Amino acid sequence: MTPPAARGPAKRAARPRATPPPLGDATALSAGVPLGKNGPWHPPLGLGLWSVGRWEPADEVRTRAAIGRAFERGLRWFDTAEVYGSGRSERLLGDALAAKPPAPPPFVVTKVSWEHLRPNQVRAALTGSLQRLGRRSVDLFLVHAPDPRVPIAETMPALEALWKEGRVGAIGVSNFGLAELEAAREALQEAPLAVNQIRYNLFDRDDATPIRDFCRRHGILLEAYTPLLRGLLAGRYLDGARAPPEVRRFTHRLLDDESLPGVLARARRIRDVAKEAGVPMAAVALHWLREQGAAPLFGASSPEQVDAIVDAFTGPPPSSEVLARADRIALGDPDA
């Protein structure tokens, strides 16, 4: 086991503050925030590749096409993990990046599994991820989820060592609660805890709200996965189509038989609000997250889905009044 004290150079070389690169075909995609004082610039909208290797081979073919379309539309943030398809997701992204390197360069995020949180395992996991991605470093390296059997005070110094070596541009966590976030921050000496990636959307927020407030206080960017609730907040499943089992499995009980009727009724009201405002329903969901200070991370399995979501994000934003009304509807206010 690599001892926690073996942390590479005593000081990470200072770098000039990152500046936002010009991106794609939409001004909205060139916004974002720097991670820490000198960290990489984090884009405002990202494509998550969690489903690669979970579903049918045809889905993977469509995902490859979706990645290519994301390049064309100017998306830079691509999120993967060593557990997605047992490395297949990282390999697919690496192949796409090698075949047609996007310009400007991508912002690549990967994660170490909750099964690999001992210091020597963390280092080995990153080495494997970099090999599959075909890269010397990644922009952001996350702990995918905590493991109660491994103290986070043992894991975070291992990530910090990789940060000092320049193999990762910033470090963060995913699916961490308040106590775990505080422990992760306290375990770091020099590197900032830059990101917490959590499930977060208009309907799925009870656990996220206190975490959002903590992250605001401590300068931690909140990345929001499932921002569209597996497509429901973009209009899917609102007119009778039933969500397939693989979707229902990952929606935190919001689409189970007991909860579904109420969720659908509120979602249809939000769709009506969006239609009255002349904006896509997805724009309401995505810009609501932006208003909360979160960066949405969406999934797509076709170029058409990429186009629809990028258009919703980069088009005229919903007004604050529309977002406030959608917020009240999602919370169950019958008078909104």
255-276 pLDDT, tens per residue?
666 778 889 999 999 999 999 9
> Does 202 score more than 70 pLDDT?
yes
**Could you report the per-residue pLDDT of 93-128, keeping only the tens digit for each?**
999 999 988 887 899 999 999 999 999 999 999 999
Indicate which residue of 84, 200, 225, 237 is catalytic: 84
| Residue that the structure tokens 């009255």 belong to | 276
Read off the pLDDT band of 240 (50, 70, 90): confident
Active-site annotation holds for 225: no
Residue pair 69/306 in contact (Cβ under 8 Å)? The answer is yes
Specify the DSSP class assigned to residue 129. H
Read off the pLDDT band of 14 (50, 70, 90): very low
154-158: average pLDDT? 98
Cα–Cα distance, 190 to 324 (Å, whole number): 39
CATH fit for domain 27-229+285-317, picks 3.20.20.100, 3.40.50.970, 3.30.365.10, 3.40.50.300: 3.20.20.100
Q: Looking at the whole model, is its pTM more than 0.85?
A: yes
The tokens of 196 are what?
């917490």
What are the phi and psi torsion angles at 24 (to 5°)? 45, -145
C-alpha closest to that of 316 among 291, 285, 280: 280
**Does 59 or 11 have the greater pLDDT score?**
59
Read off the pLDDT band of 60 (50, 70, 90): confident
Q: What's the Cα-to-Cα distance from 302 to each of 87, 172, 202, 312, rounded to whole Å? A: 21, 29, 24, 16
The pLDDT assigned to 20 comes to: 43
22-49: average pLDDT? 78
289-299: average pLDDT? 96
Here the contacts of 327-332 (C-beta below 8 Å, separation 24 or greater) are 327/202, 327/288, 329/266, 329/269, 329/270, 329/273, 330/202, 330/203, 330/266, 330/270, 332/262, 332/266
